[in-house]
């Protein structure tokens, strides 16, 4: 298993690197290098913990400094002032920082209107509020600063610098291991889905609030532990040293430079940026380092937002060569600087070679390539590079990926599985889903006025009506994205008003979107795997990626399994929507204009897919403009107009209803 092997790898890396202080003197490595490496691990931990929230889920935080500060002040106050054992203060620091993170998350992520920008600004304000509290409160700081003395520890741990190095190493490698494990498990995938399209993720069963809380909690925990050790390292904690904007600038810059969509990215960024920072201050350019780092950030975001890791993955050898050659030359000449300067020279050349081609490409093709999508409804606050960043999708599960091995009799398997999962539930008379006297008002606009609607097992209900009649609003209410102003919604026996959409999805309600909303950074196969992991099957990552193929075959999309959503056409995206909904193993499927914009051949194909889904016994609601299609498919028709039910019954009767004809064709005078 990838996960197990990987974590063993981290343990080995830790043990090997922890030996460095022991072999340092025989190898003739100066102690300053140990200090340097320790700080590299500190920044690795900070950038990686930041990336778990902000890189994976896309909720950018400027509040990293608050977590570091809480960690540092916890240790400074408890150990420096009150003499509590240093090693005991580390977990306390982590815990307090975790609590702060959860408090921020509980407030921010509850906001219905929260957008990425607002979250970023909220987190920007947190450190300043805490700073003013620390400055005023003499029990914390009071403007004096706190001295952190050397702690007592067993002699076996070596000198003070050895101890600091090993502590930082533990936090740094630990953070990387956590980020790695998340990327290789459902947790990380949920965050990637939130990053791509949060509402869709919630709709197919991802408890998004819980996952965001988990991510911000980890961010706070790791950052707080790092901050606690940092307090010991600097020896004197004052508000300027922990609260300033250096911390957020560093972690953002490191992650953006290294790459935000992979666990290794922040580590690469931390290596480069901290080496640069260290060399700048060693050469007396301290006053310029922030100028340089700030400029790098601004340039990177414009020119190469996908970062080093993606570039290294695409063409590693030229970049590695560009890194090694300057080091070799400088080492052989031996006329300038010390080894760290040579490394910095190599890193600079390597980074420029890695990132430069993108700059050139941008210049040739400006405009849409840079991607202005102000009104994109996808809740994805950060816009990664236009060329798709390599997501874990590419390297994780080796087996099924890429090879489109036909799955034996996939369609029948799915029908049988769906039927079995339906039979497994207690048979119950009455509708699978119903809404009773539902009203929905948006401000002064009444989109629905007293609509009652129910779907019996095995039915295909056609929901039709002119534009603005409330069809999509009704779908939103049934799937829990909208809360009815008055009235009740029941799935089976369960009243679902007020339940989160993911909980309603787990009760067996699946929906598709009028405009397909795939997870843009995942392959077609992984889009479906998301449903299998977070829908009612609750499969593990590896099982889900195999099973996804069956669902793709069912809708006839298996040949595009390895493609990105941006590479498939509208019809295929709509089939993907269906496959993804189907993979949730729903009891009722809400198809919101799944045929809009298709040509006649594609429509017939899609209708055939809907019929096959129906064979398995899943109840279906077809929201549609095309009456021909609805007439073919539906066993019952419901007509909405102006937010009210206009007519209901079997298709033939309803379509002859004078009121319906009027609603659709206008009155005789107009016709």
Partner 1 sequence: MTVQTILQAGIAGALTGGLYALMALGLSLTWGMLRVINLAHFALILLGAYLTFELATRAGIDPLLTVVVTAPVLFAVGGALQWAFDRFALTEFNSLLVTFGLLIVVVQLVSNYWSADFQRMSATVNPYATESLRLGAFAFPLPRLLAFLAAIVLVGGTHVWLERTYSGRALRAFAQDRSIAAAFGIDHVRLGALLGGVAGGTAAVAGMLVAVDRPLTPSSPFEWFGIVFAVVILGGIGNAVGTLLAGIAVGALAGIVSVAWSPSTAPLVIFSLIIVALLVRPRGIFVRGGA
Q: Which of 88, 103, 147, 298 binds partner 1 (CB under 8 A)?
A: 298
3-state secondary structure of 186: helix
Least CB distance to partner 1 at residue 285 (A): 11
Report residue 320 as tokens: 């590695």
Q: What are phi and psi of 600, to 5 degrees?
A: -55, -40
Closer of 64 and 537 to partner 1 (Cβ)? 64
Least CB distance to partner 1 at residue 256 (A): 7
107 scored as a contact of partner 1 (CB under 8 A): yes
293 scored as a contact of partner 1 (CB under 8 A): yes
Least CB distance to partner 1 at residue 498 (A): 17
3-state secondary structure of 421: helix
Residues 6+ apart with CB under 8 A from 144: 138
Closer of 253 and 509 to partner 1 (Cβ)? 253
370 scored as a contact of partner 1 (CB under 8 A): yes
Closer of 195 and 511 to partner 1 (Cβ)? 195
Which among 532, 531, 512, 510 is positioned nearest to 577, based on CA atoms?
Answer: 512
Residue identified by tokens 């409804």 is: 377
301 scored as a contact of partner 1 (CB under 8 A): yes
Closer of 25 and 286 to partner 1 (Cβ)? 286
287 scored as a contact of partner 1 (CB under 8 A): yes
Q: Measure CA 376 to chain center.
A: 17
CA distance 260 to 318: 22
Q: Measure CA 442 to chain center.
A: 30
The answer to whether the beta carbons of residues 458 and 615 sit under 8 Å apart is no
Alpha-carbon Rg for the chain in angstroms: 29
Q: How many residues bind partner 1 (CB under 8 A)?
A: 56
CA distance 212 to 60: 12
Least CB distance to partner 1 at residue 372 (A): 5
Closer of 113 and 144 to partner 1 (Cβ)? 113
Closer of 252 and 576 to partner 1 (Cβ)? 252
Burial class (CB in 10 A: 0-12, 13-18, 19+), 341: middle
Q: Which of 103, 302, 352, 445 binds partner 1 (CB under 8 A)?
A: 302
Site for partner 1 in 243-282 (CB under 8 A): 244-245, 249, 252-253, 256
Q: Which of 26, 154, 284, 443 binds partner 1 (CB under 8 A)?
A: 443
| 588-592 and 486-491 beta bridge pairing | unpaired
Q: Which of 206, 297, 354, 533 binds partner 1 (CB under 8 A)?
A: 297
Site for partner 1 in 137-176 (CB under 8 A): 137
Site for partner 1 in 469-498 (CB under 8 A): none
Site for partner 1 in 348-367 (CB under 8 A): 366-367
Q: What residues does 438 pair with on adjacent strands?
A: 451
Report residue 628 as tokens: 């021909």
Q: Which of 14, 42, 56, 60 binds partner 1 (CB under 8 A)?
A: 60
Kindly tell me the number of DSSP H helices and DSSP E strands found in the chain.
26, 12
Q: Which of 295, 377, 540, 615 binds partner 1 (CB under 8 A)?
A: 295
Least CB distance to partner 1 at residue 139 (A): 13
Closer of 125 and 608 to partner 1 (Cβ)? 125
Q: Which of 23, 332, 333, 372 binds partner 1 (CB under 8 A)?
A: 372
3-state secondary structure 379-393: CCCCCCCCCCCCCHH
284 scored as a contact of partner 1 (CB under 8 A): no
Closer of 157 and 359 to partner 1 (Cβ)? 359
Q: What residues does 643 pair with on adjacent strands?
A: none
Closer of 301 and 419 to partner 1 (Cβ)? 301
Residues 6+ apart with CB under 8 A from 11: none
CA distance 391 to 400: 16
Least CB distance to partner 1 at residue 390 (A): 20
371 scored as a contact of partner 1 (CB under 8 A): yes
Closer of 249 and 619 to partner 1 (Cβ)? 249
User: How many C-beta atoms surround the C-beta of residue 598 within 10 A?
Assistant: 18
290 scored as a contact of partner 1 (CB under 8 A): yes
Closer of 148 and 304 to partner 1 (Cβ)? 304
CA distance 306 to 522: 15
CA distance 614 to 606: 12
CA distance 607 to 623: 13
Which among 173, 151, 172 is positioned nearest to 163, based on CA atoms?
Answer: 151
Site for partner 1 in 108-137 (CB under 8 A): 110-114, 116-118, 120-122, 124-126, 128-129, 132-133, 135-137
DSSP 81: I
The answer to whether the beta carbons of residues 333 and 293 sit under 8 Å apart is no
Least CB distance to partner 1 at residue 250 (A): 11
Closer of 371 and 498 to partner 1 (Cβ)? 371
Count how many Cα atoms sit within 13 Å of the Cα of residue 226 in the half-sphere of its side chain: 33
378 scored as a contact of partner 1 (CB under 8 A): no
The answer to whether the beta carbons of residues 340 and 30 sit under 8 Å apart is no
String marking each residue 308-337 x if it binds partner 1 according to CB under 8 A = ------------------------------
User: How many C-beta atoms surround the C-beta of residue 650 within 10 A?
Assistant: 11
Least CB distance to partner 1 at residue 129 (A): 5
Q: Report which secondary-structure segment, H or E, holds 322.
A: helix 316-333
CB under 8 A: which stretch of 156-164, 330-338, 375-383, 433-441 binds partner 1?
375-383
Least CB distance to partner 1 at residue 428 (A): 39
Residues in contact with partner 1 by the rule CB under 8 A: 60, 62, 107, 110-114, 116-118, 120-122, 124-126, 128-129, 132-133, 135-137, 244-245, 249, 252-253, 256, 287-288, 290-291, 293-298, 301-302, 305, 366-368, 370-375, 381-383, 443
């Amino acid at each position: 298993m990838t996960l197990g092997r990987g974590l063993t790898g981290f343990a080995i890396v830790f043990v090997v690197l922890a030996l460095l202080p022991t072999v340092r003197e025989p190898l003739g490595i100066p102690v300053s290098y140990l200090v340097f490496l320790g700080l590299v691990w500190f920044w690795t931990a900070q950038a990686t913990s930041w990336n778990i929230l902000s890189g994976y889920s896309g909720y950018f935080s400027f509040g990293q400094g608050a977590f570091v500060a809480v960690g540092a002040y916890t240790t400074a106050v408890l150990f420096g002032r009150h003499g509590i054992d240093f090693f005991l203060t580390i977990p306390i620091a982590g815990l307090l920082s975790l609590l702060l993170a959860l408090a921020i998350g509980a407030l921010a992520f509850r906001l219905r209107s929260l957008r990425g920008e607002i979250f970023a600004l909220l987190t920007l304000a947190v450190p300043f509020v805490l700073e003013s509290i620390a400055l005023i409160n003499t029990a914390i700081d009071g403007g004096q600063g706190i001295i952190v003395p050397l702690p007592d520890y067993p002699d076996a741990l070596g000198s003070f610098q050895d101890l600091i190095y090993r502590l930082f190493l533990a936090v740094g490698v630990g953070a990387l291991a956590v980020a790695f494990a998340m990327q290789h498990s459902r947790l990380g995938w949920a965050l990637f889905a939130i990053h791509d399209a949060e509402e869709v993720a919630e709709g197919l069963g991802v408890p998004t609030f819980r996952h965001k809380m988990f991510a911000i909690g980890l961010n706070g925990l790791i950052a707080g532990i790092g901050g606690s050790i940092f307090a010991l390292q600097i020896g004197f904690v004052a508000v300027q040293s922990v609260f300033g904007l250096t911390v957020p600038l560093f972690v953002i810059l490191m992650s953006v430079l290294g790459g935000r969509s992979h666990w290794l990215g922040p580590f690469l960024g931390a290596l480069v940026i901290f080496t640069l920072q260290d060399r700048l201050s060693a050469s007396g350019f301290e006053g310029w380092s922030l100028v340089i780092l700030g400029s790098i950030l601004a340039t990177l975001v414009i020119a190469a937002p996908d970062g080093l890791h993606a570039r290294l993955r695409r063409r590693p050898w030229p970049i590695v060569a560009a890194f090694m050659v300057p080091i070799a030359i400088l080492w052989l000449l031996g006329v300038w600087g010390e080894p760290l300067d040579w490394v910095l020279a190599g890193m600079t050349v390597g980074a420029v070679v890695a990132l430069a081609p993108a700059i050139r490409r941008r210049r040739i093709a400006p405009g849409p390539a840079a991607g202005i999508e102000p009104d994109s409804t996808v809740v994805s606050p950060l816009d990664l590079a236009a060329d798709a960043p390599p997501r874990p999708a590419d390297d994780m599960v080796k087996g099924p990926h890429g090879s489109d091995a036909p799955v034996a009799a996939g369609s029948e398997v799915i029908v049988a599985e769906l039927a079995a999962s339906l039979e497994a539930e207690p048979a119950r008379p009455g509708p699978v889903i119903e809404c009773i006297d539902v009203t929905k008002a948006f401000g002064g606009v009444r989109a629905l006025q007293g609509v009652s609607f129910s779907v019996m097992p095995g039915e295909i209900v056609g929901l039709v009506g002119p534009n603005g009649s409330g069809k999509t609003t009704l779908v939103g209410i049934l799937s829990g994205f909208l809360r009815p102003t008055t009235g009740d919604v029941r799935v089976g026996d369960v009243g679902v008003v007020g339940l989160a959409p993911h909980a309603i999805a787990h009760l067996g309600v699946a929906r598709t979107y009028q405009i397909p909303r795939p997870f843009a950074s995942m392959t077609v196969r992984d889009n479906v795997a998301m449903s299998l992991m977070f829908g009612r099957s609750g499969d593990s990552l590896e099982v889900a990626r195999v099973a996804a193929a069956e669902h793709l075959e069912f809708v006839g999309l298996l040949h595009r399994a390895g493609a990105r959503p941006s590479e498939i056409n509208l019809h295929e995206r709509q089939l993907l929507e269906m496959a993804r909904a189907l993979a949730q193993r729903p009891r009722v499927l809400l198809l919101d204009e799944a045929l809009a914009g298709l040509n006649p051949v594609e429509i017939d194909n899609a209708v055939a897919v809907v019929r096959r889904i129906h064979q398995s016994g899943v109840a279906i609601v077809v929201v549609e403009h095309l009456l021909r299609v609805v007439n073919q498919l539906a066993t019952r028709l419901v007509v909405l107009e102006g937010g009210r039910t206009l007519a209901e019954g079997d298709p033939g009767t309803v379509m002859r209803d004078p009121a319906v004809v009027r609603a659709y064709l206008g009155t005789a005078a107009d016709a």
